Structure formats: structure tokens, C-alpha cells
Amino acid sequence: MNNQNFSLDRSSKVSILVLLSITLLSFHTVSVYSEPLIIKKIETNIEFDGLPFEKVWEEIDPLPVVMFMPVFGAEPSEKTEIRLCYNNQYLYVSGRLYDNDPSLISNKSKKRDSFGGNSDMFGLLLDSFNDKENGLVFSTAPSGLRTDYTIFNDANASSDHMPFNMSWNTFWDVKTIVNEEGWFAEIRIPLSSLRFQDTDGEIIMGLIVFRFIPHKNEFVMFPPIDPKYGGWAFFKPSKAQEVVFKDIKPKKPVYITPYALAGWQQSFELNDSETEYLQESKPKFKIGGDLKYGITSNLTLDATVNTDFAQVEADDQQVNLTRFSLFYPEKRQFFQERSSVFDFNFGGPNNLFYSRRIGLHEGQEVQIYGGARLVGRIGGWDIGFLNMQTAKLMGKSELDSDIDSLLLPSENFGAIRIRKQVFNENSYIGGMVTSRLGVDGSYNVAYGLDGIIRLFGDDYLDLKWAQTFETGAINNPFSLASARIRIEWEKRRDKGFAYSLSYSRSGEDFNPGIGFEMRDNYWRFGNSIQWGWLPGEESKLYNHRVYVRGSYNSSIENGTVESAELGPGWAFQTKSFFQGDFRIIYTVEDVDEAFEFSDNAGIPVGKYNFWTTQSMLFTPMTRPVYMILMVDAGQFYDGTRFSGELRPTWNLSSSFNLSAEYQYNLLNFPDRNEKFIAHIGRFKILFMLSTKFTASAFIQYNSAVNAMATNIRFRYNPREGNDLYIVYNEGRNTNLDREIPRLPGISSRTIMVKYTYTFRL
């Protein structure tokens, strides 16, 4: 394809015609919701003690909860009373969670944001903007732990894109009591922690409440949501019950959170003659802070100065057995507030916006001077704005180790995202612009247009178009060489017949400077068809489905296949929470550029056809000891592969948790006398003295890079926004004689103490 001309291959012409034709279509669907529930407003504060038996609670009718699983629609086996009320300061939620045998109540964690399935749980989801797509989840356990996270994309999960973000936190409280009748809880959420649309003094939100009883494998909820929508159906905002709050006048506080950090760093660098490694040690001192201001009830400003993420847990080590880049999820708190607003996903990890491009470069930390982000809603528009400034990054020159060379200039990162509901309550159109501007004059700018249209029933159409412009490129706005297209038609359900059919195209010059793109200059067609069952009360299976999944990736440049795969599979879940997925795959790979796994093994240029199998088995997380087992085995290019992964977890008590992971990879190419073996080991220890104090150790070993990493963290969190962290990180080399001069045993070592305190003005 000529970059300078608007010349299209056949597949591109088809995609453009489909894109233009379908955008002219919309089908209005009628909402099938019951009348909104009016939530009672009270004039006083509730005595916040975990015992919801005050007169005000007695005057409120409990919500009519039903069983979600194991038998959908049945009466809960345990008496469950959930109530809501509010005043001008707080939303209150109470749970009377009775149990005929309180000795069986599971209380396995005290850690903030614990997401285990082996503790009794109680909580709620709020679709605070009633946008039928996003939700805020607040849940607790008998220990009184606080877990909060966001749900996005209407809880539609895929094999490589889960619909929740566990890193989101906000200000709220909980109190719990366990006694001979069961356990009881009161949740108190400041209205200033929520963002919502006020229309003539009336606020409408979506609500889901739930209770989990692990010793009975029972999930209770309101409203009843049909399990046909899949494993995350119980958190589906589009099916939430609409509730009404009237005459809310919340305060708009300003949260100012300064921090102070002190620490010590040790590293080893080669001397000038490159004959030995010399130790370098230096102290580290840093101060900065964040600001959060609710400009209105539906618009929040976050600002940061001298940003620091020293307390963030280390990334999981990975072994790359593909010819594409590895993807690591974002864990840094500043980027979490309504992060789904900035989502512009092309399938899998591919995205127009990937926040880890900011402040990180090839594993190195880049100092962030500061920045701001604004998220919320104006009128009917969801908006997101982000702007960050980073420092330049220096590194040792390859020619002279005494001279620092410029790896990256100081850069400004920007993103603007808008979305609006159209046609019906489940359809949206939107756009996004990103920019990456260097002080040296370099630039990368991208824009995108997208839409999600609910056509009819459970059928949705997802449309995306994006284009990039950057320094040194031809930047022809009429060329598809710098453009990205994606069209997907999907029936979103797990019961009966369902499908997901998509077409994607990415030009050779498409390069989102703040995005993630696994490959370029290709077009892809694929996805899946399936048939699912919900067997009913008499079966031990809760659900299961058979499917055929495949994809075809072709080079735009020469029209040849780059990679393709096709194969059937079977997935199931039992009523006792066993889960499994078994798949057979036929793969075609055309490798036009050799790639390596190590110095001794790789894949040469050539065309390959091979069969493999994938298996996953999850034992019930409701048990004190549970595990995940994954196996990939079979042919692999011109050789064979066996990859096994075992993840056991042992919850000894509510104060002590052990988990481990062992991954073994064996690639064997006998015709070329090549072999690659890689081990990854992970071990986690979690000690929870209380819901306010936790200590953890995370130790990893990766034989592919001959390294061991240790991350030890102590956290004292007396209240939200007030934290004391002590963090110790250590990197160790293994196989020290693999290089000359001999490597040091320790590659790096850091200890830091960080304290944050939030002032509410």
C-alpha cells in the first residue's frame, strides 16, 4: 500500500462500506425496568456501630433478595435483610446476615481490597451516573475489611479483558459484628465520594446488593439478574434496579494529601575498565502530594505534584513465548479514578490509551513532575481529561560509561475522552484525542471515534476508528497506513446461541504514542460462536458451554497469512464452584522475521502448522486451600511445547495467608537440536494483624532472565487517605558466571519509608 495515496485493498474497501452502512442504523429498544425505588431520606446520622437495629432501620422495608446461585430465583436459605437510607452527608447500607450455624461463617481476610472467594461477603454496586455500563462496588466481610473496585463495559468479560479494576479506592467506612445469630454490617459512604447527575433535585442511580455464603456456595442478590448473561451477570449495571434520591445537598470537600518519602538505594555498576562491578549507594528524599476536589456533584479534579508510586506492588514476572510485546496492567492509584472513561479498546490489550506509557520507559521509572485529571459528566457527556509532565531520562552512554546520554526528553502527555448516550440507554458514541509532546520538538498525536450500539435484544455493535500522526511520518490524513479500524458484532449472553464476530485492521504507520499495540500492518477476522446451558436444580453443573473460537491475521503488505488459529472448546462451572476450560487449537504461523527465546533457542523464518491443547481447572475458592491449574501442551512451530502452571492458595486464618505459583515451560526443537526451559516461581506471604495493619512479602524467581526479586511491604492504614508504608525491594542475580566480569549477587536494593496524610477542607 502506498502511504501517500488513498489506495485500499479489498478487505479495507469491505470494512469501510460496512462501517459507513452500519453507522446509519440504530434500533430503539424499550427499557424493561420496574419502577424506580425511592430511597428514604433521614434527618439524623445513624449510630455507626455495626448493629443495624435502631428505630430508623426498623422503619425501612428490606429489599426482596433472591438466590442467584446455585438455584436462580429460589428463596435464600438464610434470612437476609438489606436496607438503604441517606441524609445530606452519607449513604447508609445495612445488612442483617443471619446464619443458622454461625460457626460456619467464613472470616478469612482482613486485608484492604481483598477479593477472595472464601469469605462471607456483603456489599453493593452503584451505577452512580445510571449510565448502564459502569459501577462502583463496595463490599465487606465479617472481619470488617473494606474492598472497593469499579466495574466497566457492563461486566462483559473476555478471555483477555476482565471487566473490573481492583486498584480504585475512595473514602468510606464499615462496621461489622459477629454473634450467635450470624453477622451484621453497616456501610457508610460519604456522598462526596460519589459522582452523580442531579436533575431538578432528583438523582437516579442503578443499585445491586448482594450476599455471599461460602459454606453453602450460595449467592443472594437484588434485583434478580438472569445468569444467562455470564459469569459476571450479578454485577451487570445495565440490569441494576433504578433507585431515586431526592433533595441531596452534599458538601464538596477538598482533599489534600501530601507525602514525605525517605530511603536508601544501592546498585552495582561496571567500573571504567569494565573489569568489576562497584557498589553505589545513595540516600533518597522526596516530597510531593495530591489534591482531589469535587468541582460539582458529577465532576472531579485530581492534581498531583512530584508524583510517587513507591508503595505499588511489583509486577508479576513473565516469560514471553510469542513474537509480540508483553502487557502489564496498571496498578498506580492516580490513574484509577473512573479509568474506564479513558478506555478505547481494540480487543485484547490493544488500546489507544495505556497509562503505563507515562512515567515508565522499558522498565525504568521516569520522574513525573506533576499533572491533573478531570473526570465526570457534563450534561449527557461523560468526559475525561488528563495532562502529565515527565522529566527527561538519562542513561549511560554505550561509548563512554562516564557520560550520560539522553534516553528520553522531558515530555508532556495528554488525553481527552468524551462519550454520550444515544439511541437507547445501552448505546454510546464518543471520541478521544491523545498527545505525546517532547521538549525537543518530537510529537505523537492520535484521535479516535467510537460507538457501541445496542441493535436488538442482546446484540451489540462495537465500532472504532483511530489515526495517528508523529514526527518523521508522512502523516497523510487520507491514508489508511496510519489508521486503525475495528468492527465487532456480539450477542452478549452465555445461555443458548451466542457469538462474537469481529474485523480489525491496523496500518503499518499506526503508532499510538500513549497506547498499546501488539502488532501492525495487518487485518484480522475472527472470534467465536457458542452454545450454553444452565442445566437447572437437579444438575451438579451450574452452567457449561461448547464453543468454537478462531482468528485469521493477514499481512496488508503482501496479503499472506501471518497467523491463524481455530479450535473447539468446552467450559463449565459446577454448583460447588469448580471451573474448567478445555480447548484444542490448530495454528498456522508465517514467521517473516526470526525471534529468540534465549541465546540457544528461537524460531527461524518459515511457515508452520501445528496442533496444541489448552486446559484450565479452578478448584473452589470457598475452601481454605484452593488452586488453579493451567496446561498448554502439544506441537509448537517445528517442535513441541509443555507449559504448566500451578497456583495454590492457603488461607490459614483471617490473619495469615500463603500463596504460591510455579510455572514451567519446556520448548523442544529436536530437528534443530535446540531446547528452551524456563521456570517462574512466586511466593506470597500475607499477615493481617487487623484491617488497619498488613505485612506482605512477594518473592519471585525467573530463570529466563536469571533473576530473583523480593518485595516486602508494611502498611498501616488507620483511615482512608492516611498511610504509613515501609517498602523493601531487592533484585538478585542468579548464575553469576554467565557474564564476564562475574555478576554481583545483588543487582539492586532499596528501602523506603513513605507517609501520607489527607486533610479534608
The segments of the chain whose pLDDT lies below 70 read: 1-34, 115-117, 158-161, 337, 396-404
Collapse the DSSP code of 333 into the 3-class scheme (helix H, G, I; strand E, B; otherwise coil) and give the result: helix
Q: Say what the pLDDT of residue 314 is.
A: 83
Strand 90-98 vs strand 66-69: parallel, antiparallel, or unpaired?
Answer: unpaired
- Could you report the per-residue pLDDT of 458-516, keeping only the tens digit for each? 999 999 999 999 999 999 999 999 999 999 999 999 999 999 999 999 999 999 999 99
Whether 743 contacts 277, CB under 8 Å: yes
Whether 411 contacts 384, CB under 8 Å: no
Rounded Cα distance between 628 and 626, Å, is 7
C-alpha grid cell, residue 720? 482512608
C-alpha grid cell, residue 666? 519446556
Q: Say what the pLDDT of residue 363 is.
A: 80
CA 720, 724, 728 angle in degrees (round to 5)? 130
Cα 197 vs. chain centroid, distance in angstroms?
A: 26
| Calculated CA dihedral for residues 535, 537, 543, 545, nearest 10 degrees | -10
User: H-helix or E-strand containing 343?
Assistant: none
Q: Say what the pLDDT of residue 161 is.
A: 67
| CA R_g for the chain | 27
- Could you report the per-residue pLDDT of 49-100, keeping only the tens digit for each? 999 999 999 999 999 999 999 999 999 999 999 999 999 999 999 999 999 9
Q: Other C-beta atoms within 10 Å of 355: how many?
A: 22
C-alpha grid cell, residue 407? 534516553
Per-residue buried b or exposed e for 253-286, using 16+ beta carbons within 10 Å of the residue's own CB: bebbbebebebeeebbeeeeeeeebeeeeeeeeb
Q: Say what the pLDDT of residue 159 is.
A: 55
The full set of domains in the chain, from first to last, is 37-246 (2.60.40.1190), 324-520 (no CATH)
Task: Name the residue among 601, 589, 525 with its Cα closest to residue 561.
Answer: 589
Per-residue buried b or exposed e for 84-103, using 16+ beta carbons within 10 Å of the residue's own CB: bbbbebbbbbbbbbebeeee
Task: Name the residue among 412, 413, 316 with its Cα closest to residue 355.
Answer: 413
Collapse the DSSP code of 457 into the 3-class scheme (helix H, G, I; strand E, B; otherwise coil) and give the result: coil
C-alpha grid cell, residue 573? 462451572
Strand 80-86 vs strand 40-41: parallel, antiparallel, or unpaired?
Answer: parallel
Q: In sequence order, what are the residues at sequence separation of 6 or more whose Cβ sits closer than 8 angstroms to the Cβ of residue 129?
A: 195, 196, 197, 205, 298, 377, 382
DSSP string, 378-421: ETTEEEEEEEEEE--EEEE-SS-TTSEEEEE--EEEEEEEEEEE
Name 174's bridge partners: 187
Whether 266 contacts 284, CB under 8 Å: no
Q: Say what the pLDDT of residue 158 is.
A: 66
* Residue 234, Ramachandran bin (φ over 0: left; ψ between -120 and 50: alpha; else beta): alpha
Question: What distances in angstroms separate CA 352 from CA 23, 434, 446, 471, one per listed residue?
Answer: 21, 8, 8, 18
